[in-house]
Amino acid sequence: MPIEILVPQLAESVSEATVGKWAKREGDSVNVGDVVAELETDKVNVEVSADAPGVLESIAAPEGAVVHPGEVLGVISDGVASTGSSGKSETAAPASLPASSGKAEAQPASGNGGPGAAGAEAEDVRASPLAERVAKDLNVDISRVPATGPGQRVTREDVEAYAARGEGGEPRGEVGKSSAPAVAPAPAPAAAGVADGRQEVRQRLTRRRLTIARRLVEAQQTAAMLTTFNEVDMSAVIALRTRWKDKFKEQYGVGLGFMSFFTKATIGALKAFPQVNSELRGEELVIKKYYDIGIAIGDAEGLVVPVVRNADKMSFAEIEQAIAGFVKKSQERALTIDDLRGGTFTITNGGVFGSLLSTPILNPPQVGILGMHKIQPRPVALNGEVVLRPMMYTALTYDHRVVDGREAVQFLVRVKELIEDPERLLFDA
């Protein structure tokens, strides 16, 4: 009995997803618990597993399709993967036709592009729905594409490899008909570009990347963003880390990083300037007396900002453990919606990638974000002498609608003071 693969219920605030990739293809055998597809949502990816053993009979939602909870992704049938048809010549076995239709035996073997084949190619070619869509986009005659997939199925990779070799063909159903080059579809020049060695690769944006793009544009269009800068002497924090890092790692199982110091310093500054820890709702400013600090983490799929909740009540070790846990979950693609929800203020560290200076963009509806940067030895004046010190530029981007320049500058100065004298963190944070 066929079993439908349904889109699972997503998180509370997520109503749709994009089919990121199919781990199985039509004709593949599946077991209970096998991951058959991966869905991309605004925040996290969701794996869809098979609830019954059998064969992936059909894919209803190809890669790139937008789906909603309860919709059908595909169908699993009980049986074995198809390997051919009714004992006729292998080249004459159109595996995409149902065995009971009788059509397979009624059709003569036609080959690819042979006389009289044009009308039969649309039915004789066994291809995945995604392969057909890619072939149409690339102006490739799918009947000419060699198949390497299960059951001699043409896959997306087959079509892309065929197009990359510069062997594109006429559109399906047009074999033998004359067409004027002047009205060739738009992809034709791209095929010519491939032929002379100048390749272009089309890559579908992930749901996360689309969401990042949308939110960043929204931030710039809805907030009056302004950035103020300062620089911090990291000597005291570096000395403190050097003195205690081995014992810290031994006792707590995580390294003592700079992020815990900046989290504590940020909380101290937020307590001194509470309007930076707020949210604008209509004509009201909601000032928050709790400190849920978002920590920006970059991975291959794009930026995510998991939230360290009630960070003001956490020790240095607890903050470092929380951040390390988020990094691990991000690498394992195991972050949940709850990990990312909310946040009252965000810290981002471009310095880990070598950034010397940048202007971070707000994470709405928050009104402030602190940017950390690369630590670099620079000459500074100290007690009437020029000395080299490990310096870091810091940046605060804020929403000027609710935070004035005076408070923003003083906020960043307070962060500087706490980092340069980290013992004060015991009292101010």
pLDDT tens-digit profile, the chain (429 residues): 788 899 988 765 567 888 888 999 888 989 988 889 988 876 677 889 888 899 998 999 998 888 988 899 999 987 654 443 333 333 333 333 334 344 434 344 333 343 333 333 444 556 766 677 778 878 888 888 888 765 677 877 788 888 877 654 444 344 333 333 333 344 444 444 455 678 888 887 777 788 788 888 988 888 999 999 999 999 999 999 999 999 999 999 999 999 999 999 999 999 999 999 999 999 999 999 999 999 999 877 778 899 999 999 999 999 999 999 999 998 888 888 889 888 999 999 999 999 999 999 999 999 999 999 999 999 999 999 999 999 999 999 999 999 999 999 999 999 999 999 998 887 776
What are the structural domains of the chain? Answer: 1-81 (2.40.50.100), 100-203 (4.10.320.10), 208-428 (3.30.559.10)
Contact indicator for 27, 153 with CB cutoff of 8 Å = yes
- Count of residues making up the chain: 429
Sequence-distant (≥ 6) Cβ neighbours of residue 378 within 8 angstroms? 388, 389, 391
Q: Mark whether 373 is an active-site residue.
A: no
Question: What do you get for the CA distance between the two ends of the chain, in Å?
Answer: 62
Catalytic residue among 246, 404, 421, 428: 404
Structure tokens at 155: 């896959």
Stated as kind and residue range, the H or E segment containing 348 is strand 345-349
Question: Rg for the chain (alpha carbons), in Å?
Answer: 29
Q: What is the pTM of this model?
A: 0.62
Catalytic residue among 28, 51, 137, 400: 400
Q: Mark whether 404 is an active-site residue.
A: yes
> Counting beta carbons within 10 angstroms of the beta carbon of residue 409, is it exposed (0 to 12), middle (13 to 18) or buried (19 or more)?
middle
